[in-house]
Amino acid sequence: MSAVNLQVKDAADARLAADSLAEQEMFRRPSEWRIFWEAFRQDRLAVGAAAVIALVCLASLLAPVLSPYDPTVGDNSLRLAPMGTPGHILGLDGQGRDILSRLLWGGRVSLIIALLPVAVASIVSVFLGLVAGFFGGKVDMVIMRALDVFFAFPAVLLAVAIAGVLGPGMLNVMLSLTIVLIPYISRVAYMATVTVKNELFVDQARVSGARPRQILFHHILPNTLSPVIVYGSTLVGIMIVLGAGLSFLGLGITPPRPDWGIMCSDGRNFLSVAPHVSAVPGVVLIIVAMSFNIVGDGLRDALDPKLRK
Amino acid sequence: MLKYLVYRVATIVPVLLGVSIVVFLMMKLIPGDPAEAILGPAATTEKIEMVRKSLGLDQPFYVQYVRWLWKVVHGDFGTSIAVNVPVAQLVWPKFWNTVLLTIGSLVVCMIVGLGVGIVSGTRQYSWFDRISMSLTLVVANTPAFWLGLILMVVLALRLGWFPATGMYSMRASEKTVGDLIHHMVLPAITTGAVSAAIIARLVRSSFLDVIRKHYITALRAKGLAERDIILRHGMKNALPPIINIVGLQVGYLMGGALFTEVVFSWPGIGLQIYSSIVARDLPVVQAAVLVTTFVFVLVNLSTDIVVAALDPRIRRA
Amino acid sequence: MTMAAAAPALLEVEDLHTEFHVKNKLIRAVNGVSFSLRRGEILGIAGESGAGKSVTCLSILRLVPNPGRIVKGRIRFAGEDLLGKSEKQMRDLRGQTVSMVFEDPLNSLDPAFKVGDLIGEALTLHKGLGKREARKKAGELLRLVGIPDPDRRLDSYPHELSGGMQQRVMIAIALSCDPALLIADNPTTALDVTIQIQILDLVKQLRDRLGMGVLWITHDLGVVAKLCDRVVIMYAGEVMEEGDVYGVLKRPRHPYTRRLIEALPKLGRPEQRLMPIEGRPPDPANLPMGCPFAPRCYKAQPACGEHDVPLVGTDNGGAVRCLFPET
């Protein structure tokens, strides 16, 4: 704000000066995205977690290049060698396969099993939530009641049952997870849609003659996307763990392709002599799941207008 | 309150019906013909047709569904393909074993979760708060099956303090409660740990939320002591979301118990589902999922009613 | 003018300073506020949002929320030093001798409790009344504050009442133990005008009947005109002007007061344009030197920004903090 204004002689002058100042302020206001980005940037924990995720994704992506050994070929002489064995920093498993290599290659599977279902389920859910929330009435009832039925199942049980019924294989695991996720994300999208729909500015848009589709896309969709994105990030963390669980039970990908869940299961027989075979992939699971969780929290805090001021 | 009760009970009927339809359809979606599965690859077409007829598979879907539902309501879940006994006989005892484990896990997760949550909530930013929030973050993201394996390695295999598998000692001639509890400790901790972490975080934030509300300042202005405010007003308002999540955790516990049961070979319904999936014994899977979900729905109904009793604003809907 | 004219001071606030330490910033919410209130008098504290009015009230009851602290000043109630009392003594005072009513009635009443229980709670706590007696007295209080069908209303929950009724309930709670001082923080802003007037009339009647002192916070000078005997005008945590209502509103001395009055829409003069005060109040973490209103003041001179301006008595019993007051 300006210092003491000596030139102002009376109220009218003051008003002019203040008006032009206000105008300048208006043009200097940053856009929504910048506000969000600034807020997120300041949350150092979230940024750190995002970096971890990026690192892990990159490492898995570059598995063919980074992996020191073939993850499916074992060296029998070094079976169950502990961590720190020369040439095998994370040790070897029951079939003499290098654990680090299996982690890198396994990351591809475990990450995709978590990311893809959340992405696909989000798209379907946003659609369902928007339609049910926006049109209301019978459409709302039918869609939400149908989803309520799926809500009635304990999620883990449903995932195991569907994956079990469909049979092993990566696609079946992802399908099962997607089906389990849809009711949860839909509900979030639905509530966001209904909330926004009832906000005054949508009424205003209607009154000014905007067509329903315009209202849907320009106003409701953006406001529905942010809670879905926040929720989705947290869900990815949960899916990493659940996906690994399904693989642990043998309901996931078929060997010899590794993934982090199968690696834990492989080590079960050697727990007393070589616990690192199961322990190490678990630690990786924890770190990655935690990172998604933290990022999800960070996104939520950064997008919340109340917390920004 | 009564009106709300009636309304809520009425709404679960269509949900349960829907659940039964989903479970029924799930089984129908399995690739392959059940008759062929029973008879094996060498069966002739006539034999397959016969078995299909006897299984009622030649009827349209909705007829099959009604028949199946009728039997289920009367407790007849069919016969296990793998073991050739009535499924009900297989499933019910296992179900109660899981209930036992769930109760043990609930005890763990409620005590730890509530305790840590309340202490953290009332002492925000203290060292206890910071440590417990970091710890709960890690535990909340820990796979139950992995935690089970680690606990098994350290506390059972290495230190020998607890048994590694099973519900009772094989050697004991009599099944004592002490033996049962001894066997339950590791599985209960494994299953309850993740829920405890989630509940601790939730209790803490629910508390902090309530403490910031304007009516808390108004109550202080009335001259009430802080302790009375927290116990009488704070709890009553913080409880509903906590109870909600506890109800959902029961669902997780019943589902998550599956991993624990597999790791510790606890003879519950989760282990049964798992072995039946492996053996492709689908009537058992069907029955087990149905029973577990039914109980889950009832538990959620109960928590909803308790929450409505505590928070009068909910009863309006 | 009122019976309060000759009564001794009930509440004396002297040079109160309350600050908040938030994330390396020092927010000076109250900077040297002084005023006094006599028994039976209705004193208004008026000013824009953020002027420090609410924090002043909370400071009196020592309820300033955590990163905030009273760092300087004296607060005396009925001759006793409030800042020197123990927490237990303050608790005895709160709700019993000094009561407070808040701005947002829906959020200031515990939604999980029935109205009758909320009123009864203070009675049980301070007067030791049993459940049945407390309930009876609560019913009488509801009647006193003008709630129709009071006995049935005792079993209502806050969200079942209209805004006006909720505020009456808050007043009932505040009056339950016959306080000598009622502090009201903007209790009528959330209500519509007709209800607002009813509440103001109610408070006036209660003051006439019960003889308590009332400290009424508002940013609406219309309310001050209707309700208060004396008024204190606050800006950026400081007292800019004070005096009896008639004098201050008819002949404001401080330029800020004058602008506040001019900003009020006046009935019967439709051709007049609305005149808001330009600019915004200063950031309490970054207060300018000298008079805080100077950046927005049409009479400002260089001297205004150099030193803190003292509060000086006026010829009609009031006081003004300005180097160039109106005459």
Is residue C325 in some structural domain? Answer: no
* The pLDDT value given to residue B136: 93
| C56 and C167 in a common domain | no
Provide the domain count of chain C: 2
Tell me which chains share at least 3 CB pairs under 8 Å with chain B. Answer: A, C
Is residue C166 in some structural domain? Answer: yes
Which residues does chain B have within 8 Å of residue A295's beta carbon, measured at their own beta carbons?
none
Is residue C4 in some structural domain? Answer: no
Last residue of a domain, one of C155, C178, C201: C178
Which has more confidence, C78 or B177? Answer: C78
Instruction: Measure CB to CB from residue A271 to each of B144, B152, B252 and give the nearest one.
Output: B152
Which residues does chain B have within 8 Å of residue C115's beta carbon, measured at their own beta carbons?
none
By the 8 A CB rule, do C8 and C39 touch? yes
Q: Closest Cα partner for C66 from A44, B237, B216?
A: B216
| C288 and C223 in a common domain | yes
By the 8 A CB rule, do A237 and A298 touch? no
Instruction: Measure CB to CB from residue B223 to each of C94, C107, C157 and give the nearest one.
Output: C94
Task: List CB contacts of A64: < 8 A, sequence separation 6 or more.
Answer: none
Task: Give the number of residues written for chain A.
Answer: 309
Is residue C267 in some structural domain? Answer: yes
Which residues does chain B have within 8 Å of residue A146's beta carbon, measured at their own beta carbons?
18
Which residues does chain A have within 8 Å of residue C305's beta carbon, measured at their own beta carbons?
3-4
Q: How far is CA A144 from CA A183, A223, A288, B245, in A?
A: 9, 20, 33, 21
Which residues does chain B have within 8 Å of residue A106's beta carbon, measured at their own beta carbons?
none
| C235 and C291 in a common domain | yes
Q: Do C305 and A3 touch (CB under 8 A)?
A: yes
Which residues in chain A (19-58) have CB-CB distances under 8 A to chain C?
Answer: 19, 21
Q: Do C280 and A1 touch (CB under 8 A)?
A: yes
Instruction: Measure CB to CB from residue A3 to each of C278, C280, C295 and give the nearest one.
Output: C295
Is residue C234 in some structural domain? Answer: yes
Query: How many CB pairs lie under 8 A apart between chains A and B?
Result: 135
Q: Which of A26-35, B205-214, C140-149 has the lowest mean pLDDT?
A: A26-35
Q: Any CB–CB contact under 8 A between A1 and chain C?
A: yes
Phi-psi region of C11 (alpha: psi -120 to 50; beta: other; left: phi over 0): beta
Q: Closest Cα partner for B302 from B257, B232, B246, B253?
A: B246
Distance from CA of A188 to the nearest CA of C (A): 26
Show the tokens assigned to C89: 């003594």
Q: How far apart are CA A56 and CA A109, in angstroms?
A: 12
| C191 and C168 in a common domain | no
| Closest residue, chain C, to A12 (C-alpha) | C298
| Closest residue, chain A, to C301 (C-alpha) | A6
Last residue of a domain, one of C133, C160, C178: C178
Is residue C327 in some structural domain? Answer: no
Is residue C163 in some structural domain? Answer: yes
Q: Which residues of A239-272 are buried (b: 16+ CB within 10 A; e: fewer)?
A: bbbbbbbbbbbbbbbeeebbbbbbbbbbbbebbe
Helices assigned H by DSSP within chain B: 2-28, 34-39, 45-54, 61-73, 87-122, 127-140, 144-151, 177-211, 214-221, 226-228, 235-264, 269-278, 282-310
Q: Any CB–CB contact under 8 A between C301 and chain B?
A: no
Which residues in chain C (99-118) have CB-CB distances under 8 A to chain B?
Answer: 99-100, 102, 104, 107-113
CATH code of the domain in which C260 resides: 3.40.50.300
Tens digit of each residue's pLDDT (9 = 90 or more) over C215-241: 999 988 889 999 999 999 999 889 999
Name the residue type at position C163: G
* The pLDDT value given to residue A123: 94
Tens digit of each residue's pLDDT (9 = 90 or more) over A19-78: 555 444 444 445 566 777 777 777 888 899 999 999 999 999 998 888 888 888 888 888
Distance from CA of A49 to the nearest CA of C (A): 24
Q: Is the dihedral of CA B174, B175, B178, B184 positive or negative?
A: positive
Which neighbouring-strand residues pair with C18?
C30, C70
Burial group, residue C141, by CB count within 10 angstroms (0-12, 13-18, 19+): buried
| C62 and C189 in a common domain | yes
* The pLDDT value given to residue C304: 85
Q: How far apart are CA B120 and CA B131, in angstroms?
A: 9
Q: How far apart are CA B268 and CA B286, in angstroms?
A: 15
Q: Do C302 and A4 touch (CB under 8 A)?
A: yes
- What is the 8-class DSSP label of residue C19? E
Q: How far apart are CA A186 and CA A121, in angstroms?
A: 9
| Closest residue, chain A, to C303 (C-alpha) | A4
Distance from CA of C171 to the nearest CA of B (A): 12
Which neighbouring-strand residues pair with C76?
C12, C81
pLDDT band at A242 (very low <50, low <70, confident <90, very high): very high
Which residues does chain A have within 8 Å of residue B251's beta carbon, measured at their own beta carbons?
154-155
| Closest residue, chain B, to C58 (C-alpha) | B221
| C314 and C209 in a common domain | yes
Q: Any CB–CB contact under 8 A between C149 and chain B?
A: no
Q: Are strands C80-81 and C25-38 parallel, antiparallel or unpaired?
A: unpaired
Average pLDDT in the B161-169 region? 81
Distance from CA of A309 to the nearest CA of C (A): 13
Task: List CB contacts of A155: < 8 A, sequence separation 6 or more.
Answer: A180, A184, A242, B251, B252, B255
Give residue C137's domain range.
98-178
Tens digit of each residue's pLDDT (9 = 90 or more) over A203-221: 666 666 666 666 666 667 7
Q: Any CB–CB contact under 8 A between C295 and chain A?
A: yes
Name the residue type at position B60: P
Q: Any CB–CB contact under 8 A between C165 and chain B?
A: no
Average pLDDT in the A229-256 region? 90
| C247 and C155 in a common domain | no
Burial group, residue C321, by CB count within 10 angstroms (0-12, 13-18, 19+): buried
Is residue C2 in some structural domain? Answer: no
| Interface-testing mutation among A1, A20, A23, with chain C (most C C-beta atoms within 10 A) | A1
Specify the pTM: 0.75
Q: Do C125 and B223 touch (CB under 8 A)?
A: yes
* The pLDDT value given to residue A216: 61
Which has more confidence, C101 or C65? Answer: C101
Contacts 24+ apart (CB under 8 A), B232-237: B233/C110, B233/C112, B233/C113, B234/B207, B234/B210, B236/B310, B236/C110, B236/C112, B236/C113, B237/B210, B237/B213, B237/B311, B237/C110, B237/C111, B237/C112
Q: Closest Cα partner for C59 from C269, C235, C215?
A: C215
Q: Do B18 and A244 touch (CB under 8 A)?
A: no
Task: List CB contacts of C142: < 8 A, sequence separation 6 or more.
Answer: C115, C119, C150, C153, C154, C168, C169, C172
pLDDT over 60 at B93, yes or no? yes
* The pLDDT value given to residue A28: 45
| C259 and C209 in a common domain | yes
pLDDT band at C98 (very low <50, low <70, confident <90, very high): very high
The H or E element that residue C91 is part of is helix C87-93
Q: Do B218 and C63 touch (CB under 8 A)?
A: no
* The pLDDT value given to residue A29: 46
ipTM reported for the complex, 2 dp: 0.84
Q: Closest Cα partner for C102 from B299, B253, B278, B219?
A: B219
| C189 and C116 in a common domain | no
Give the highest mean pLDDT range of A250-264, B234-248, C225-239: C225-239
Which neighbouring-strand residues pair with B107?
none
pLDDT over 80 at B300, yes or no? yes
| Closest residue, chain B, to C100 (C-alpha) | B221
* The pLDDT value given to residue C2: 47
| C123 and C40 in a common domain | no
Last residue of a domain, one of C143, C178, C213: C178
Distance from CA of C295 to the nearest CA of A (A): 5
Which residues does chain A have within 8 Å of residue B297's beta carbon, measured at their own beta carbons?
152
Q: Which of B26-35, B158-167, B203-212, C213-222 has the lowest mean pLDDT?
A: B26-35
By the 8 A CB rule, do A274 and A80 touch? yes
Q: Do C304 and A4 touch (CB under 8 A)?
A: yes
| Mean of all residue pLDDT scores within chain B | 83
Q: How far apart are CA A111 and CA A55, in angstroms?
A: 12
Average pLDDT in the C231-255 region? 90
| C84 and C189 in a common domain | yes
* The pLDDT value given to residue C16: 93
Instruction: Measure CB to CB from residue A149 to each of B18, B149, B289 and give the nearest one.
Output: B18
Tens digit of each residue's pLDDT (9 = 90 or more) over B19-71: 998 888 887 776 666 666 666 677 677 777 777 777 667 677 778 788 888 88
Which residues does chain B have within 8 Å of residue C113's beta carbon, measured at their own beta carbons?
233, 236
Tens digit of each residue's pLDDT (9 = 90 or more) over B220-236: 999 888 888 888 888 78
Distance from CA of B146 to the nearest CA of A (A): 6
Q: How far apart are CA B270 and CA B298, in angstroms?
A: 19
| C206 and C174 in a common domain | no
* The pLDDT value given to residue A2: 35
pLDDT over 50 at C319, yes or no? yes
Which residues does chain A have within 8 Å of residue C302's beta carbon, measured at their own beta carbons?
4, 6
Which has more confidence, C286 or C181? Answer: C181
* The pLDDT value given to residue B60: 74
Q: Closest Cα partner for C262 from A20, A8, A4, A11?
A: A11
> For B71, phi and psi rounded to 5 degrees?
-65, -45
Q: Do B214 and C104 touch (CB under 8 A)?
A: yes
Q: Do C107 and B214 touch (CB under 8 A)?
A: yes
Phi-psi region of A143 (alpha: psi -120 to 50; beta: other; left: phi over 0): alpha
Task: List CB contacts of C34: < 8 A, sequence separation 6 or more.
Answer: C13, C14, C15, C16, C239, C311
Distance from CA of B310 to the nearest CA of C (A): 7
Tell me which chains share at least 3 CB pairs under 8 Å with chain A. Answer: B, C
Q: Do A5 and C305 touch (CB under 8 A)?
A: no
Q: How many CA atoms lie within 13 A of C201 on its CB side?
A: 8
| Closest residue, chain C, to A23 (C-alpha) | C279
Which residues does chain C have within 8 Å of residue B236's beta carbon, measured at their own beta carbons?
110, 112-113
By the 8 A CB rule, do C292 and C238 touch? yes
Tens digit of each residue's pLDDT (9 = 90 or more) over B125-139: 788 888 999 999 999
Average pLDDT in the C238-265 region? 87
Q: How far apart are CA B317 and CA C4, in angstroms?
A: 51
Q: Any CB–CB contact under 8 A between A268 and chain C?
A: no
* The pLDDT value given to residue C325: 85
Q: Do A2 and C295 touch (CB under 8 A)?
A: yes
Which residues does chain C have within 8 Å of residue B220's beta carbon, measured at their own beta carbons?
63, 94
Q: Do A4 and C298 touch (CB under 8 A)?
A: no
